[in-house]
Structures are given as structure tokens and as C-alpha cells.
Structure 1
């Protein structure tokens, strides 16, 4: 099977998981890596056709893409070439090869319009797979939404079973737009409503690959299960720390020991319940796991590496 984005953060965790599930993995990326056998771009149609022919690819997990931080590094056309044309190249090759499954990594970011990002409402926005109309606020979201549409179209027109995973945040570096709270504190807070570990992201792809033929086409949010209910939406916006205390009475004390702060307001919550019902997948690491680590003095159960550099950043230098 083909894994694109194999030199990236997800790819280095996903490739071993796929092999453990019994798959022979051919990794493809724009830069070399331990899990990468083919160095090429998905935007190169000839390279894709060569790879399928030379390696007898039988399924695709498409994790390669330009991401939101790449907006500062690449022109708009590069996003279209990689995220849209690259996805189309893979889908057409998969159809021609008679594949029965295709899994694509998408993003919850495409669900965030400017109005949702501004968080001006009186309640937190509850985000699920039926949330819409979608109005992505940047070229990253626009191209990933287009790529999702191509997956749906190739299922409808060619019968290619396709699963789209809208993953929440799992990057290890610092946030490029929010500096307070910083580092590990921000990541810990996000496990309440919009984060997962890279290990869980990898396992979600393995589950999607297994279920794709029986599902046909599906789009799923993948995030740590939120402890909140929809009825908490107004209180989360008004005083999130008090809501958290209701679910986790010792959270504030455990946070204080570390010098961390609980969120004062939460403006949106990702609901990953559909993935649990239909894919049979639930993230193993959640906010309770984070608190367990604080309680015992163990390292946080997630990766934080401010020095991490993506493969796309390396190619932009």
C-alpha cells in the first residue's frame, strides 16, 4: 500500500502501525525519511503512475499535504497543485488500479469560518460532521475541502471506497497564532475540545483503512473525546474553568502545581462521536489522561517539540 507524507510527523508514526496491521508500506514524500522509499511530489502525475506500476500499490493512505503554516512559505498555486491536483492524481491512479479503499487525512480547520474563529457568540460552537455551510477561511482549508469533494466524487462515480478523516490538532510544535498559554499548557487545554495525540491519529487511519470497504464513503472528525455536553455550550464560553471543575474537581490544583492555567473560555468543541460509532475508533488519550500524568508527576502524554520542522518547511528553504 502507498502512504504519502511518510517523512512527516504523522507518517513516521503511521507507517509502523500499518505494517503491524499486516500491510506492506511504500512511503512517498518530497524529502527523504526513515519511512520514505520514493522521493517525489503527489502533484507529479508521471511519478504517481510510475510508483503504482513499480510497486503494485493496492491501497492508498494519503497523508501528504501543504498545511496551514505553509501559507507563509508557499504561493496559493502550490496549495492547489499539492492538495487538490495531488489528491486527484492519487484517486485516478487508485481507480485505474481497481482499488477498494482510499483514506485521506483532512483537517477540522476547514470547518472554521472567520465567524467561528472570532468566537463572538454567547455560546461555544458544537462542531460535527454535519456542521455547515462550510466556509474555510484560508487557502489551506479551501484546498482540503476540495480534496474531500474529490474523494466523495470518486466514490459516487467509480465506487472507490473513501474515508476522509478530519483530524484535530496533533502537531508537536508551538501554535503559530496563539502564544498564551504557551507550549504544553495550551496543548493540555486543547485535549478538552480540539486535540489528539499523533499515536491516536495514526491508529485512526488504520481503523479507517479496515472499515472503508464496508462504509463506502464517510467523513469523520478525529479528536480526543470531549468531556462536555452540548448543554454546556453557554457556560463554556462564559467560564470554561468552572465547567472543567464540575467534571474534574482536582484539575485546578493539579494545574497549579505545574504552573499552568485552565482555559477561561472555550469557543468551539469538536465532537468525535461519529467516528466511535461507525469506525469503532476512540482516542486512547484524553483530558483525564493528561490529569493522570500531572497527578503522578509523569511526563505529559503528548508530544511537545518547539523545534520540530515539517518536510514542507525544509523544501521551502
Structure 2
């Protein structure tokens, strides 16, 4: 497919563009920053005219795309003011969704967020492992936007029955260079309790996107996307007993299994995370 990837110069977007190209797809990167060249278009996603123009075709770059991967955003709370984060992220997402629907691009995969699960869990989760079954619990302006984006997607697929929108609730994105810091987390269980000690290797994030592009049918679906394990060497039972002693446990925790359940993504998308910080350095695949 020819796939437009917004946020193609970001931490996850760079890896996603690389992996999609390696899988044989043509990628058109769209971002506010980046070097001019083949396969990249610089634009402001908060300007609808630029968005629909870029998706519809740009000079000799392309004459339209088959699918859209939307990753561009202010990527976390606290980077910009709450108002700036809200205005940027909701406007950019509306623009790319609306432009895609108008142009007949009927396959969209985009970055939602683990934050809609109730992060930083100052109010404990309703149960552990957490999954997609309970209502969103946004606790920041950033997370509120992610929740509203999911609600917007639900209505857009109702209006456009041929449209497939898949929301991937990515955990904290990591690259191999980040893994050297992980052993330090063991000293204090509360350092990473804010997302139940979760993470996602960017390469597995790319895999989840490729699987969603391949198999998602019309309609809206949401999936938690995390690594198969936690960031901790300490066992799950010890961590949960110390930090969330009153929270209901649903099923086996495993020793180091992710507490951000990826069972729905495994079952419906065929998602199978291949990378773990426990495997040690892997320079060739960075």
C-alpha cells in the first residue's frame, strides 16, 4: 500500500516509517519538522487545507494514498500548556480523519494512548491487569483529547460505514537505547506505577500498526499495545501487593507479564510482541 504517516519524524513515527518500508509499503511522511526529500511532505496538521491537499496528492510525490497512520501530536502531558496541547491535538486529529473520509481513504490506524486507562493511577485501576473493557478515565488534558478522539472515531465510522478506524492505545514508547535505565527502576516500585510498569518497543509498535492495517475491517476498534513484559525485574505479585494492595486481581499475573493486557490485540490483530529489554542490546535492529 501507499501509506501516509503523520508524525513520521517522531520517536515512534521514525521506526514505523522504516518498518513499513521494509515490509514493502510506500510511505509518505507528513510532519511539521523534517528534511525535504522523496517520501516526505512538510505541513502543519492544524491547517485543514494543507492536510487535505497533502493526502490528495503532492506534485510528483504521490497521487493519493491507500491508508493513513496518524501518530503526530504533542506526545505527552506537560510539554506544552494544557490549552495548547488540547487545541493542537484535537484539531490535527479532526483534520486528518475528516480529510481521509472526504478523500475516500477508508483505512486509518492512529495512536491513542494508555493514558485513557486512568494514568497515572493516583486513583487505582478498577482491576489488574487492566484492559479495554472499562470506560475511559482521562486524568489530564492530554488524555482527555485521546478519549475525545476515540469518541470522534466512533461517530465517523457510523457516518461512513466503509471506514475502518483502529485506535492503538500505545504504552510508553521505548527504543533499545532506553533500556540501560531499566534496572534502576527496581529500587522504587512507585517510580513506574503510573502505567503499571508498562512499555512498548517501538518496533513492536510498528508491528501492531502493520497488523491493524492488514486485518481491521470497517468500524472502530481500540486495542492496548504494550510489550509482553514489564520494565521491572521484581515479580508482579510483589509490585502489586506493595503499590495496589486493595485492587481486584483478575486472572494470573505471571512473574513479569504485562499488566496492560494485550490479549485483545493478540486475538483480533495477531499482534505478537517480539522485543524485550531483557534480551539485551540489539544494535543491528535499532
TM-score (norm 2): 0.77
- 1:44-59 equivalences in 2 (<5 Å): 44-54=47-57, 55=62, 56-59=64-67
Q: Which runs of 5+ in 1 are unaligned?
A: 176-181, 241-245, 252-265, 305-317
Shift of residue 300, structure 1, vs aligned partner: 7.1
Instruction: Note the aligned Cα RMSD (angstroms).
Output: 3.6
Partner of 2:207: 203
Q: Which runs of 5+ in 2 are unaligned?
A: 244-252
In 2, Cα distance between equivalents of 1:200 and 1:282: 8
Partner of 2:70: 62
Partner of 1:148: 150
| Alignment check: 8 A CA contact 2:175 2:201 kept | no
In 2, Cα distance between equivalents of 1:41 and 1:13: 21
In 2, Cα distance between equivalents of 1:46 and 1:187: 45
- 1:168/1:186 Cα in 2 relative to 1: closer, same or farther (>3 Å)? farther
Shift of residue 39, structure 1, vs aligned partner: 1.5
- Runs of 4+ with >6 A deviation: 187-192
Partner of 1:117: 122
- 1:219/1:35 Cα in 2 relative to 1: closer, same or farther (>3 Å)? farther
- Report the structure number with the largest CA radius of gyration: 1
- 1:172-183 equivalences in 2 (<5 Å): 183=181
Which of 128, 131, 134 pairs up with 1:131?
134
Deviates more, 1:96-105 or 1:33-42: 33-42
| Alignment check: 8 A CA contact 1:5 1:28 kept | yes
- 1:91-106 equivalences in 2 (<5 Å): 91-106=97-112
Secondary structure of the corresponding residue to residue 264 of structure 2: helix
> Per-residue displacement from partner, 1:153-180 (whole Å, max 9, x unpaired)?
11111121111000111145999xxxxx
Give the structure with the larger helix fraction: 1
- 1:36/1:106 Cα in 2 relative to 1: closer, same or farther (>3 Å)? farther
| Alignment check: 8 A CA contact 2:174 2:200 kept | no
Equivalent pairs counted in the alignment come to: 257
